[in-house]
Amino acid sequence: MDNLPIMQVLPELIHILRSSRAAVLIAEPGAGKTTATPPAFLNEPWLEGKSILMLEPRRLAARSAAVFMSAALGESVGQTVGYRMRMDTKVSKNTRIVVVTEGVLTRMLQSDPSLGDVGLLIFDEFHERSLHADLGLALALEAQSVLREDLRILIMSATLDGDRVSDFLGGVPVVDCPGRTYPVETIYAPASGNLPLEKQASAAVRRALAEQSGDILLFLPGEREIRRTQRELELSMLPDSTVLRPLYGQLSQELQNSAVAAAVQGQRKVVLATSIAETSLTIQGVSTVIDTGLRRTQVFSPRTGMPRLETVPVSKASADQRRGRAGRTAPGVCYRLWSQEEHHRLPEDNVPEIMETDLAQLALELAVWGVRDPAALQWLDAPPAAPFAQGAALLRQLGALDARGAITPHGRSMAALGAHPRVAHMLLRALELGAAPLACRLAALLGERDPFRGPATLDCDLTLRVESLLRYEHSAADAGGVDPAALRVIQRESRNFLQQLLTVGSATATHPLSSPERHSLSSPERQSPSTLDRLSMSSPVDLSLIGLLLSFAYPDRIGQKRGEGAFVLSGGRGAAMSKGQPLERSHYIVAAAVDDKVTQGKIMLAAALEETQLLEYHADNITEAAEVYWDPESSSVKARSRTMLGSLVLKETSHNRPTPEEIEEVLLKVIAEKGLDVLPWEKGVQQLRQRMMFMHALRKDWPEMSDEALIGSLDMWLKPFLQGMRSLRDLNRVPLSRALEGMLNWNQRQMLDKEAPTHITVPSGSRVPVDYENPSAPVLAVRLQEMFGQVNTPMLGGGRIAVVLHLLSPARRPMQVTSDLASFWRSTYFEVKKDLKGRYPKHYWPDDPLQAIPTNRTRPVK
């Protein structure tokens, strides 16, 4: 241990922490930082009477670090060095170094924000930037600044940009430790053409088998790609000595072990792995790494509130970490299936978990801490607003937060359970119902991988899984299509949930468990501690409660049948299950897992819910709303009252009487949507509007009459005339002229008749209508003979606008258009006269029209 590189920098680090409250240690993997650093501080004066807390991102790492440090001290675990993790704790009075996993640190900080006797808090593998590490650091920094000035914080990291963390912590010292890995040669080997991934990967494996010696580790994004590549390699002619070993998280322990273990003498091992082999597991004997440069990651979609899996390029940091796996014991080689140019475009680091995960749990932890706005704390990367708001909204729905966003007693119990808030809420409600053991099984089923395999997965009914689990618990044989290893994990997790629930349940049994708006329950009241003790996994199970329990966890995914296999969810989305399932006949279901499709999600897991259960247990969220609305079928305003649960219409009746105001409001909205054409624009009304437009063009204080303006002001001018109307047909009775005139004051009305008259009386005595269709150039169409004697063009707009005269023949054929009558009489008239005389010889066409007598006769004079 003395020759580890870390030993050379520890004196400096010890020196720094004597005067600094925080430091950053950058050390490559293999430097020994995890096990050498904590004990180095045990004899520091500032740590006297205090202990060291070190955070590890994985249980395995935490346990083995504690074992290794204990062995170095010649002790067993739980003496000077111990660990704490869920369902497994080894510490004693003498323990001064405690290695903890992530959830434990959060719970410790929440139950004692001053961190009791902890003198040094170490974040190991901080570059992984897990949600809990980021949260832990934010909480610890506040604890340090408010409660514990003497608390020291050490950030340990491999590839992290140390300066950024140092700056974030206020410019604390950074210690850099050289690594102790062997050199690895990097070969960029981009695939030619657009080959499927499994072909690229298997070609690279064949190349590496030929060019290199030793075992090969191939990184692929997921299980599907691993299986396809394995098939591809099995079909190609590989040397007999080659063995293929898949490796991913869901694989059984035995198969994982056989992938990790050293190959048998004379064999060459090719391990096909997900990113599990990047940090979590070390594989013996690997000297060649092949990296496809892809990983699968979960992205939370705030739009739908659902998680979604995406295949994305790895970061440079990840790629380097993967490459490093070839140089653990000897110099190695790494093939990267991308080009050097592509490499430059890769992101430096992986996106921190806090940036793309569901933040409901984070929101709950912050509320327990007393913080509603994340900005109140310091973050390396602040939680993004949309997922945080979505999380807070869910917490309010579950009764964990009150209307002001403060934590409720129920919320505190939920946080103490340490499950996802949805699951925690379900467990606590189940406790009240006496259905805790069933809820624990559901919680485990939801948290773990589906135990069904193959075609069995097509039936999304969770009840079938529960039944299968119960058979497994009674060691009864199950039909095919079920994975016993998965059921074993689920059984273990169910028990853990029950134990956790009983601890939290009895701690809070003396005061109300749940939300303030909790309604009274018909079946068993809250459990007393003694009944809690009797609850066990062997209690009888009532399968009819599965849907109800799920509905506590997913109140936003209660589905109402609307078609074959299709459901509307209470949160507003549509979702469907694949055809032919018994569950599709249920009127109500709860969808526990829905994929993240834009229009219609696919239901992966669900259970039936009885309407009576829904009405009884979700009464708080059921609203009765009277609604006045437009019914397109009858084209009229109708009223109904609806019983709603979120977006679901549970019941609808159409009996109540809307008030006139409500009707008018809906009518106005429909007119605005459908446009003004639904109103009776008779000729005179149309002219009135055009006259008003003409006036508006001249005078700004007149109302604007465009479609847009009229629709914008319907409230003002039309509303008073809608009384008693309910349908499109009724609108034909609107006294539109009166309504339009109503927009004018008394003066304007006088002025309208004077300056934009409907008719002009011409010399013959006829009243000729003015055409205002073009409001900037009104037209007066009149027979030429009727204008004899009039010198000048008739004027409108108070003498400002000359009409456009359309002078007509006796048969009302247009002969001439002019806005200057005087000049017409002087010149053009004589040409027109010749023409007219030819065609209408018996009419009177005087040589001096200004002296002639005008006539409105259509027949020639005798």
Partner DNA sequence: CTCTCCCT
Instruction: Supply 831's token pair.
Output: 């040409």
DSSP H stretches of helix in 31-130 = 33-36, 59-72, 102-111
Q: Give the nearest distance from C-beta 613 to DNA in angstroms.
A: 25
Q: Of 65 and 836, which has the nearer Cβ to DNA?
A: 65
Name the region of 133 (left: φ>0; alpha: ψ -120 to 50; beta: rest): alpha
Q: Of 605 and 637, which has the nearer Cβ to DNA?
A: 605
Number of Cβ within a 10 Å radius of residue 195: 12
Q: Give the nearest distance from C-beta 298 to DNA in angstroms.
A: 3
DSSP H stretches of helix in 240-359 = 253-260, 276-279, 316-324, 340-345, 353-356
Question: How many Å apart are CA 292 and CA 219, to the nearest integer?
Answer: 6
Q: Give the nearest distance from C-beta 132 to DNA in angstroms.
A: 7
Q: Of 201 and 666, which has the nearer Cβ to DNA?
A: 201
DSSP H stretches of helix in 566-653 = 611-617
Q: Give the nearest distance from C-beta 311 to DNA in angstroms.
A: 8
Q: Of 449 and 651, which has the nearer Cβ to DNA?
A: 449
Q: Of 420 and 689, which has the nearer Cβ to DNA?
A: 420
Q: Give the nearest distance from C-beta 269 to DNA in angstroms.
A: 18
With a CB cutoff of 8 Å and minimum separation 6, the contacts of 530 are none
Q: Of 359 and 705, which has the nearer Cβ to DNA?
A: 359
Q: Give the nearest distance from C-beta 276 to DNA in angstroms.
A: 4
Q: Give the nearest distance from C-beta 718 to DNA in angstroms.
A: 55
Contact at 8 Å (CB) between 705 and 687?
no
Nearest by Cα to 613 from 512, 540, 539, 522: 522
**Residue 802 phi, psi dihedral angles, 5° rounding:** -80, 140
Q: Of 135 and 286, which has the nearer Cβ to DNA?
A: 135
Q: Give the nearest distance from C-beta 444 to DNA in angstroms.
A: 10
Q: Give the nearest distance from C-beta 449 to DNA in angstroms.
A: 5
Identify residue 312 by its one-letter amino acid code: V
Q: Of 99 and 807, which has the nearer Cβ to DNA?
A: 99
- For 559, counting Cβ atoms within 10 Å of its Cβ (0-12 exposed, 13-18 middle, 19+ buried), the class is buried
> Tokens 């994985």 — which residue?
58
Q: Of 250 and 600, which has the nearer Cβ to DNA?
A: 250
Find the radius of gyration of the CA atoms of the chain: 41
Q: Give the nearest distance from C-beta 411 to DNA in angstroms.
A: 14
Contact at 8 Å (CB) between 325 and 217?
yes
Question: How many Å apart are CA 243 and CA 860, to the nearest integer?
Answer: 116
Question: How many Å apart are CA 746 and CA 415, to the nearest integer?
Answer: 71
For helices 421-433 and 546-553, the axis angle rounded to 10 degrees is 140
Q: Of 608 and 666, which has the nearer Cβ to DNA?
A: 608
Instruction: Supply 521's token pair.
Output: 């329950």
Q: Of 102 and 755, which has the nearer Cβ to DNA?
A: 102
Q: Give the nearest distance from C-beta 318 to DNA in angstroms.
A: 12
Q: Of 351 and 393, which has the nearer Cβ to DNA?
A: 351
Q: Give the nearest distance from C-beta 63 to DNA in angstroms.
A: 9
Q: Of 443 and 803, which has the nearer Cβ to DNA?
A: 443
Q: Give the nearest distance from C-beta 219 to DNA in angstroms.
A: 11
Q: Of 60 and 649, which has the nearer Cβ to DNA?
A: 60
Q: Of 64 and 713, which has the nearer Cβ to DNA?
A: 64
Q: Give the nearest distance from C-beta 33 to DNA in angstroms.
A: 19
Q: Give the nearest distance from C-beta 571 to DNA in angstroms.
A: 20
DSSP output for 751-820: HHHHHS-SEEE-TTS-EEEEE-SSTTS-EEEEEGGGGTT--S--EETTTTEE-EEEEE-TT--EEEEES-
Q: Give the three-state DSSP class for 312.
A: strand
> Tokens 């729905």 — which residue?
397
Handedness of CA 359, 360, 365, 368 (dihedral sign): positive
- For 500, counting Cβ atoms within 10 Å of its Cβ (0-12 exposed, 13-18 middle, 19+ buried), the class is buried
Q: Give the nearest distance from C-beta 540 to DNA in angstroms.
A: 28
Q: Of 78 and 307, which has the nearer Cβ to DNA?
A: 307
Bridge partners (DSSP) listed for residue 533 = none
Q: Of 113 and 173, which has the nearer Cβ to DNA?
A: 113
DSSP H stretches of helix in 599-721 = 611-617, 660-674, 683-698, 707-712, 714-717
Indicate the Cα dihedral angle 221, 224, 227, 230, nearest 10°: -40
The residues binding DNA (CB under 7 A) are: 57-60, 85-86, 101-104, 106-107, 130, 221-224, 248-250, 274-276, 280-281, 295-298, 307, 309, 361, 418-420, 447, 449-450, 452-455, 457-458, 604-605
Q: Give the three-state DSSP class for 862.
A: coil
Handedness of CA 686, 691, 695, 698 (dihedral sign): positive
Nearest by Cα to 323 from 284, 278, 274: 278
Q: Give the three-state DSSP class for 589.
A: strand
DSSP 730: G
Question: How many Å apart are CA 277 and CA 322, to the nearest integer?
Answer: 8
> Tokens 């490796």 — which residue?
247
Q: Of 212 and 350, which has the nearer Cβ to DNA?
A: 350
Instruction: Supply 477's token pair.
Output: 């044989």
Pairing of β 268-273 and β 51-55? unpaired
Q: Give the nearest distance from C-beta 667 to DNA in angstroms.
A: 49
